[in-house]
Structure 1
């Protein structure tokens, strides 16, 4: 563990089949007005909406609703929530849905009382410190992948500028509590389930492929990657296998609750490219990540060769006997590609809605971080996009 770190996570997790019952004991800790934030019709069709409303009514809460949060939440939708918070003096924002709903809720909580500057510019573009009051957030998760239920991340798409930007807020913006019942994920489509698992795997790989050697965090990441791989295979055969779905859910939380980033420099370049891909296509985040990952890792593996060799042998079980390091590393990337095909993960940008005309614009607007094994050029970003078109 070569890098110093401080670790703190204030989110309480209630996990399991009976976890929704914990809502009754959590609600009295907050004020009278709760804003319920959710997507379209899923939580109403599966009965979860009625259960949550019943708990809110029993607690004597005034309920304000913001519905229609989309898979890639937009700035305009976030600001719609901001206006509701200000109008009704909301005391708690309760997000019920997947990571996009939770991301939107956190964005609303931080932006609601940001009155000195445009909140998107201040917090998502300039990454200024949070200087205003923040409305408490909590979540009830119905789809997994983002890890937003136990971190400060909030990814918002600004429609006018075609900018999809992520911001990691400090612990003051973390959900105060999150309710995770794996059964709520059973009705998610196979496409979204698979996309969510690759999102989890991408979070892990973004943190793993940085630094050399292997500290405790690397061992944790390898185990979570193997768990994600094994349990997705089970869930694809039986989507209602509780053990597999519960492991997938907990993997996603652990993959981005900051534990797996401790003492790591971290990369995140795949996410930067996919964010702009998503801004132009509105594609499923995990699918976009899968498409970008394969050509990106084939470009950079030589610059972090030992770690890619370790990834191949420890995660995918590639034999090292009689092979060069380059051969082993490439077999590991090939194994990742084979897994995407096995699970029906889409890796073609054309299938994800991109046109050839979009690619230069996506490349030019991609933020280049330079934290990984190789700092990309805009031309290299374009080459990556063209390779997975």
Structure 2
């Protein structure tokens, strides 16, 4: 491993089918005023809402609610949440839902006590908070983003067709605690389940496909990818398999809590392109990643052929005998494609609502990052998008 790095994970995790009980350990640490944040109402149908409300009541909390947080939280929804949290004089933001709800809670956290426009400050200028932030806790109901144990928050501006993530530098933005009960994920529709699975996998890929050194982080990534592939196949056949869903939940957390990025550069261009697609289509995040991944990786693998060869052999068990490095690398991507189709992922952005006349705008909205094997030009992004149609 090369270079110097720090690693800090201040989030306390409670994992298992009885983990919601541990909310009783955390709530006494915070003041009386809690803002409960959730999405479209599924937690009311499956009973999680009632369980959480009961625990909040037993702990004497005064509760306000922000409901209706959408899968791609908008800047207008952020403004609404900030006003609710301010009016309630919130002491704790409790997010109950998937990664979007957790992301949204962190965005509210850094904005409540900030007099500046949070979109301008955090998502256009990428500044860090200069005001007091609110603590966030998460009760996770869908896995994929790893938002329960990182400092990232993605917000969409539908007025400007921009979907931007800000990974805050200060670990205090990370959730103070997270409740991970795999049973809460069992009611997800198949589409959402496999979308989350691919989100997990691609988070690992984004940190894996970079660098040339012999890096322990890459060996951890390979193990996580193999675990995700194995568990995904079981869950795809039986969505109620608790063990498979628990392994996916645990892998999702470690895929994006910065562990596998330590000591190396990272790519993130699939996310940059996919998020721009999402800004135009409002498509499910994991599916936008699935739709652009293979065209992107097939475009850049000649620039990082040794890592793609390693990926093929160590993750997909490709037999290298009698093959060139390029043939081995290509066979690994073919194996990845077969697995993606097996899960039922969306493989083309046209199936998500993207059209050819959007491609220039999507490319314009793609943030170009320098960490991967090839720093893309605008025309190259357009070419990748055309291959993704």
Q: Same fold (TM over 0.5)?
A: yes
**Matches of 1:286 and 1:8, distance apart in 2:** 26
> TM-score, structure 2 length as denominator?
0.99
**Matches of 1:247 and 1:214, distance apart in 2:** 27
Q: Secondary structure at the match of 2:64?
A: strand
**Matches of 1:214 and 1:339, distance apart in 2:** 27
2:156 corresponds to which residue?
157
How many angstroms does 1:213 deviate by?
A: 3.3
How many angstroms does 1:72 deviate by?
A: 0.6
Q: Secondary structure at the match of 1:140?
A: strand
How many aligned positions are there?
388
Aligned residues: CA RMSD: 0.8
**Matches of 1:183 and 1:341, distance apart in 2:** 26
Equivalent pair of 1:19/1:180 in contact (CA under 8 Å):
yes
User: Aligned pair 1:196/2:196, yes or no?
Assistant: yes
1:280 corresponds to which residue?
280
Runs of at least 5 residues in structure 2 that lack an aligned partner in the other structure: none
Equivalent pair of 2:2/2:213 in contact (CA under 8 Å):
no
> TM-score, structure 1 length as denominator?
0.99
2:209 corresponds to which residue?
209
User: Aligned pair 1:139/2:138, yes or no?
Assistant: yes
Q: Deviations over 1:345-384 (max 9, x none)?
A: 1011111111221111101121111211001111110111
1:128 corresponds to which residue?
127
2:222 corresponds to which residue?
222
Equivalent pair of 1:213/1:307 in contact (CA under 8 Å):
no
How many angstroms does 1:307 deviate by?
A: 0.5
1:310 corresponds to which residue?
310
Q: Secondary structure at the match of 1:265?
A: coil
How many angstroms does 1:129 deviate by?
A: 2.2
**Matches of 1:79 and 1:137, distance apart in 2:** 17
Q: Deviations over 1:250-291 (max 9, x none)?
A: 000000011011111100011111111000001111111011
2:104 corresponds to which residue?
104
**Matches of 1:105 and 1:55, distance apart in 2:** 20
How many angstroms does 1:93 deviate by?
A: 0.3
**Matches of 1:238 and 1:86, distance apart in 2:** 44
- Equivalences for residues 332-371 of structure 1 within 5 A: 332-371=332-371
2:33 corresponds to which residue?
33
Q: Secondary structure at the match of 1:350?
A: helix
- Equivalences for residues 156-305 of structure 1 within 5 A: 156-169=155-168, 170-305=170-305
Q: Deviations over 1:142-191 (max 9, x none)?
A: 00000000000100001211110000112111100000000000000111
User: Aligned pair 1:90/2:87, yes or no?
Assistant: no
Q: Secondary structure at the match of 2:104?
A: helix
**Matches of 1:3 and 1:154, distance apart in 2:** 27
